[in-house]
Amino acid sequence: MAQRTVSRRTFLSLAGATAAARPLMAATGSWGFDEPTASAATPEWHDQGVLNLAHSPYAKLHNVPVRAVTIEDGFWSKRRKTNVESSIPSMHEELLEHGRMDNFLRLVGQSNAPQKGPVYSDSDMYKWLEAVAFALQTEDNAQLHDAAQTTIREIVAVQEPSGYLNTYYQDDRKKLRMTIPEQVRGHELYCLGHMLQGAIAYYRATGDPTLMNAGQKFVDGYLLPSFGPEPDKKPIVSGHPEIEMALIELYRTTGERKYMELAGYILQGDPRANLKPQQIVYMNCGVPFTTKTRLQGHAVRAMYANCGATDYYLETGDQAYMKTLEVLWSDLTRAQMYVNGGVGARSEGEAFGEDYELPNAQAYGESCAAIGNAMWNWRMLAATGEARFTDVMERALYNGINSGMSLNGILYCYRNPLAFDPTTGEKIRNPWYDTTCCPPNLERTFASLPGYFYSTAKDGLYVHLYDNSKMQWKLESGNGIVVTQRTQYPWEGAVRMTVAVEHPEEFTLYVRVPGWSRASQVAVAGKPVSGVRSGEYVPIRRQWSGETSVELAFDVTPRMVMANPAVEQDTGKVAIERGPIVFCMEGMDQAKGTDAKTFPLYLAKRDGAIQGEFKPDVLDGVMVLTHSGAKRMESVESLYAPAGAEAGKVEAAELKLIPYYAWDNREESSMQVWVPWVG
Amino acid sequence: MAQRTVSRRTFLSLAGATAAARPLMAATGSWGFDEPTASAATPEWHDQGVLNLAHSPYAKLHNVPVRAVTIEDGFWSKRRKTNVESSIPSMHEELLEHGRMDNFLRLVGQSNAPQKGPVYSDSDMYKWLEAVAFALQTEDNAQLHDAAQTTIREIVAVQEPSGYLNTYYQDDRKKLRMTIPEQVRGHELYCLGHMLQGAIAYYRATGDPTLMNAGQKFVDGYLLPSFGPEPDKKPIVSGHPEIEMALIELYRTTGERKYMELAGYILQGDPRANLKPQQIVYMNCGVPFTTKTRLQGHAVRAMYANCGATDYYLETGDQAYMKTLEVLWSDLTRAQMYVNGGVGARSEGEAFGEDYELPNAQAYGESCAAIGNAMWNWRMLAATGEARFTDVMERALYNGINSGMSLNGILYCYRNPLAFDPTTGEKIRNPWYDTTCCPPNLERTFASLPGYFYSTAKDGLYVHLYDNSKMQWKLESGNGIVVTQRTQYPWEGAVRMTVAVEHPEEFTLYVRVPGWSRASQVAVAGKPVSGVRSGEYVPIRRQWSGETSVELAFDVTPRMVMANPAVEQDTGKVAIERGPIVFCMEGMDQAKGTDAKTFPLYLAKRDGAIQGEFKPDVLDGVMVLTHSGAKRMESVESLYAPAGAEAGKVEAAELKLIPYYAWDNREESSMQVWVPWVG
């Protein structure tokens, strides 16, 4: 494909892109907000991405604004539409119904309802606000904007003169505030962290710093004067890590280095807190982050701690941090991650298990932990520019995160098992959890998705994810750039991109070749690029001018994968993947004719080609795979039986597989990702 | 084999059997003990078995005295010799060294040492005393007798006038005694239960009721007046079930029905304790026993509760109890028991997992839980006379219990995993645990073993276990009987028995045919018996007179077994058994020549004959099996890899297997019970 001339108008519209995203602001006539104390060099609010790494000295890659990327009709569009139209509004109703705002209103005499929900309930509202904020970064939505404005007004009304703001620690509980036992269990700083993240996203959506100012006031007025490493101050325990990355993002937004330093102190752990060893393990805090040698304890806490630590590295370049992070990442990918990108195998303590402890039916794999995994890898990617992190992020995103929300957007998984026996009576997808951390976490993730497609670097642009989309942004030189993608990814491996620059410029376009693609091709302006390797970014350095086509072809032939023999739950089993998608079998799709009840009911042939067909009417449109295998014809009653006795009990059957993320969206049924093999 | 004439002398020696077991008593000249309040019909102390079921109306089978059976040179003799000569004495030293007796002595001013050990530390001494007591039931041992006498004297010296006796609840903790939170965590009644069990065993060994009287005084003086279902009494919480079976045995020993009634009240659960649902599940108490529908919570607690409930059934015939016990037993054998007879899959909470949750490397399988399993099945056997219970008991005894003590008798397993990777650095066998419940529990089990070989019933005699041995006892008619066994069981399947009766009598000899024997033969006086079925007692009803030979032949051909497909950790794997013995592979026995580190290192062929050879010099003499299989030639680095990529990495190898119980008795090595198959 030849380069085309790009009209000047395309680039002029860049400047308008952010303005177009804020008609609501225009409607208010004047903002009248107190501008936050930001360093002069900080990008303006509307130019800040999911992370604002513009001035992070050790960030190799820099985020582009969420609003710079428009995801068009394709794989993610339906999910994102449902997110904004159903998930975020219905979750708002659930939150109100379950008293999450009454908790605030009660404190200013506007509600008589008693305190509701667990100690961390304020964070539910903040995470929901963050979802709204990311949604507002890419689209007008007066209803969500109004709901957010109301919510923020009602939240800040509760802030005490000291800056303290937490609806749980009121009345008799006031005296417990920020005592060590409460820091261990009370999630005060976790709530503050989510408040700051929501507030920053909202500021980046609207320029409105109201909530961010409140968060800053909490830190400046309440936290910094009384807590810290100094002998006259009290120690901080990061009972549930989250505050670390929030404080660093606050630093990146305001330019005030004290927030980053506070995060560094917290990551160091204050020995004066005198935590028990099992508390340190469970909470993933309390000792210097750099003393960690493995992933353990509560999985979400571990992932959030890793996010904070990577953020700290991005600002300080402390190599001890990067060394630890690499050790933990190796632990993740060597022995701790599910094939769906989920982490945290154990229900008990929502925790990492031993190396290779990856049960399927009992897998915990909390949605929040998979999100934390993606967030951490996003930061590692920023630090290094290495595609191995993007591979993990993509695996989590398309599978263990995407599974967390039902296709209709109003049911959520807390745990994401890799096998399911419906006779257990467990309900995996639910509209509400009293600990409702996962639903708004999923919502904020899908709302922020455009911000993960690209990064800029000193020497060019990185392309991370693929879907029909258009990016209108600028290179770090300031040169305008528009990138479009036309693809049926992840169902097909072909991606047709166009890269258009305002002015001719030599730079490198780094195009990600997914690790799963066994044969990949890249062509620029119709000419093949050499040195294309799976699991790497192909650097395409050239003089770019006008519009250039970049064509990619990845191999989406279905693949059978096996787990490391040390995963004792997956021995003698295969999982089937196609492109970035992990597949599973639901019992309802399989041939019937047996009343066997022994789970798993179906077995797969180890050899033979797997067929795929896209079915637009199935599960909002999915690739359905078929493969030969067998079904069990009798229930196996005995716990232990002579080998071979079982062989006669299966019968050949064609197996149907659907994407794992879409399981449990129809009638209740059995599900298997790892399928024992036969023949 | 023809019947032989039996001399009158053989039977005259029966009367002397018990006298021979108590030369120490003769040495003291006169007992001078207060005899316990026993019903006139209760057998004398020396005639009571592990359980005294002589007057339990719903016991179909009745125990024979431990001293009635002499285990001679054979499979168990070395273990039992080591138990008495090394285990019990060395554990005594460990207990003293770790302050377990100082805890008592301090209270009467004879020690300055501070309180040592966890809240349940008194029970360590009681269980050790019980081990000594059972040892003294079959042999003279002045040293152990003296040590026990000293221990008992020091224990009873601490008893308060109220009857209360617990060294933990002293000083500041006095006010906590038997409060609900302490009943939940404090093990006061657990300690009392072990005190009673130890005391009863000691009484049955020596006729000395000193400790039993102290235990009775605790119940009569402290417990019964203030605790119970009456509105003016305080509720009892059985924080760790144990007291139930102890109280019922106290009833069986003293004839005082109030102890049985108290056990019934405890098994019923007192709602006034207001326990949380998770406490009820974990502790296996607090709600009526008959409301249980599955095995869950702490495994040892569950097993001990089941023991108490079965004891209660044996006395009351309450069918609701038996119904519940059958449901729980079905749960055990359908979905919860390891192939080694171990139970309680999870380290977390030392608990049962979900159905079919049976991890191997991470298996908890506490020694105490396997012992509890055997104890429970022993009671179920007494209630029913059904061999399915004996099969479970035998499985636990030869494997998951027998593994708990090292061959040299001074190291113990707390957990009994079914796979072990030494690179984890874990040490499975240790001389001491601060929670040292398992070591003396193993010791009391091995010491009491003769008591499990036979039972009497109204219509005859049951033979449960096989080893070279001699029983000198009497039928329930009062007719003297001597049974000898000559066998190399469990290594070989032939057992030559002789049955000699004092007077000719028609009765049934019930000979157990193990469930694992696929082809079995029984001959009486040289004539084959028809209707021999695996997993049943063969009833041989005839007129017995003089001495009669009974010959048994079981099939000990090595067997490959597979687990139910629902056990996801065992898919694609086999375990190898021979007779009652479960085998395993230790890495040190296998062909070397590879530095692969990926666990499991070895794979087995699914087909082909397994060879066995008895090696007298290996591991105190064991059958060693060989089988063809493969070894891994490369470490597998990736967590997930394309299927088939692994196939080229293994190489044919001959595998060597040793009995599971003998693992980890040489240098540290890998171990696998479940072996993935190849070819």
Structure confidence by residue, pLDDT tens digits, A309-356 = 999 999 999 999 999 999 999 999 999 999 999 999 999 899 999 999
Chain B residues in contact with A337 by the CB 8 A cut-off are 639
In A75-218, at which residue ranges do the beta strands (DSSP E only) sit? none
Cβ–Cβ of B348/A348 closer than 8 Å?
A: yes
Residue B114, domain member (yes or no):
yes
A641 near B CB under 8 A: yes
Going from the C-alpha of B445 to that of each of B243, B300, B372, B394, B401, the distances in angstroms are 18, 15, 10, 13, 9
Answer whether residue A10 shows pLDDT above 80: no
A172 and A266, same domain (yes or no): yes
Cβ–Cβ of B360/A639 closer than 8 Å?
A: no
Structure confidence by residue, pLDDT tens digits, A215-272 = 999 999 999 999 999 999 999 999 999 999 999 999 999 999 999 999 999 999 999 9
B460 and B447, same domain (yes or no): no
Cβ–Cβ of A676/B571 closer than 8 Å?
A: yes
Give the mean pLDDT of chain A: 93
B315 and B169, same domain (yes or no): yes
User: B234: helix, coil or strand?
Assistant: strand
Nearest-by-Cβ selection for A643 from B348, B562, B644: B562
Q: Of B338, B309, B464, B357, which is closest to residue B401 (Cα–Cα)? A: B338
* Residue A548 near residue A483, CB atoms below 8 Å: no
Give the mean pLDDT of chain B: 93
Structure confidence by residue, pLDDT tens digits, B39-85 = 445 789 999 999 999 999 999 999 999 999 999 999 999 999 999 99
Answer whether residue B393 shows pLDDT above 70: yes
Residue A494, domain member (yes or no):
yes
DSSP conformation letters of B377-411: HHHHHHHH--HHHHHHHHHIIIIIIGGGB-TTSS-
A275 and A356, same domain (yes or no): yes
Q: Which B residues 532-561 touch A at CB under 8 Å?
A: 559-561
B542 and B601, same domain (yes or no): no
Q: What is the domain extent for residue B472? A: 8-28+454-553
A295 and A356, same domain (yes or no): yes
Residue A542, domain member (yes or no):
yes
Instruction: Count structural domains, chain B.
Output: 3
Sign of CA dihedral A69, A70, A76, A78: positive
Q: Which of A553, A586, A608 is the last residue of a domain?
A: A553
Answer whether residue A9 shows pLDDT above 90: no
B594 near A CB under 8 A: no
B638 and B608, same domain (yes or no): yes
Structure confidence by residue, pLDDT tens digits, A374-430 = 999 999 999 999 999 999 999 999 999 999 999 999 999 999 999 999 988 999 999
Nearest-by-Cβ selection for A559 from B564, B639, B642: B642
Q: What is the pLDDT of residue B201?
A: 98
Answer whether residue B290 shows pLDDT above 70: yes
Q: What is the pLDDT of residue A478?
A: 96
Q: What is the pLDDT of residue B338?
A: 98
Residue A215, domain member (yes or no):
yes
Q: What are phi and psi of A5, to 5 degrees?
A: -75, 135
Mean pLDDT of B605-611: 90
Residue B423, domain member (yes or no):
yes
Chain B residues in contact with A676 by the CB 8 A cut-off are 565, 571-572
Q: How many residue pairs bridge chain A and chain B with CB atoms within 8 Å of each other? A: 145
Answer whether residue B301 shows pLDDT above 50: yes
Cβ–Cβ of A572/B568 closer than 8 Å?
A: no
**Of A24-38, A137-151, A293-307, B504-518, minimum mean pLDDT range:** A24-38
Structure confidence by residue, pLDDT tens digits, A41-58 = 578 999 999 999 999 999
A238 and A194, same domain (yes or no): yes
Answer whether residue B395 shows pLDDT above 80: yes
Residue A584, domain member (yes or no):
yes
- Tokens standing for residue B161: 């006038």
Cβ–Cβ of A565/B357 closer than 8 Å?
A: no
Cβ–Cβ of A561/B640 closer than 8 Å?
A: yes
* Residue A504 near residue A458, CB atoms below 8 Å: no
B316 and B428, same domain (yes or no): yes
Q: Of B120, B205, B142, B660, which is closest to residue B447 (Cα–Cα)? A: B205
Mean pLDDT of B308-329: 98
For A353, nearest residue in chain B (alpha carbons): B362
Mean pLDDT of A506-513: 98
User: B506: helix, coil or strand?
Assistant: strand
Cβ–Cβ of B640/A346 closer than 8 Å?
A: no
A430 and A480, same domain (yes or no): no
> Chain B closest CA to A659's CA: distance in Å?
18
B628 and B514, same domain (yes or no): no
- Tokens standing for residue A2: 């030849």
Residue A462, domain member (yes or no):
yes
pTM of the model: 0.89
Answer whether residue A31 shows pLDDT above 50: no
Chain B residues in contact with A569 by the CB 8 A cut-off are 359, 568-569, 571
Best residue of B281, B632, B640 to probe chain A, by most A CBs closer than 10 Å? B640
Nearest-by-Cβ selection for A638 from B360, B564, B642: B564
Answer whether residue B642 shows pLDDT above 70: yes
Nearest-by-Cβ selection for A640 from B561, B646, B677: B561
Q: Which of B528, B553, B578 is the last residue of a domain?
A: B553
Structure confidence by residue, pLDDT tens digits, A584-608 = 999 999 987 667 888 888 899 988 8
> Chain A closest CA to B654's CA: distance in Å?
20
Q: What is the pLDDT of residue A18?
A: 42
Q: Which of B504, B529, B553 is the last residue of a domain?
A: B553
Q: What is the CATH number of the domain that holds A426?
A: 1.50.10
Nearest-by-Cβ selection for B564 from A571, A606, A639: A639
In B259-377, at which residue ranges do the beta strands (DSSP E only) sit? none
Answer whether residue B29 shows pLDDT above 90: no
Best residue of A639, A646, A660, A674 to probe chain B, by most B CBs closer than 10 Å? A639
For B574, nearest residue in chain A (alpha carbons): A643
Within 10 A of A32 (CB to CB), how many other CB atoms are there?
Answer: 7
Residue B367, domain member (yes or no):
yes
Answer whether residue B38 shows pLDDT above 60: no
- Tokens standing for residue A643: 């080998």
A457 and A332, same domain (yes or no): no
Q: Of B542, B560, B493, B488, which is closest to residue B521 (Cα–Cα)? A: B493
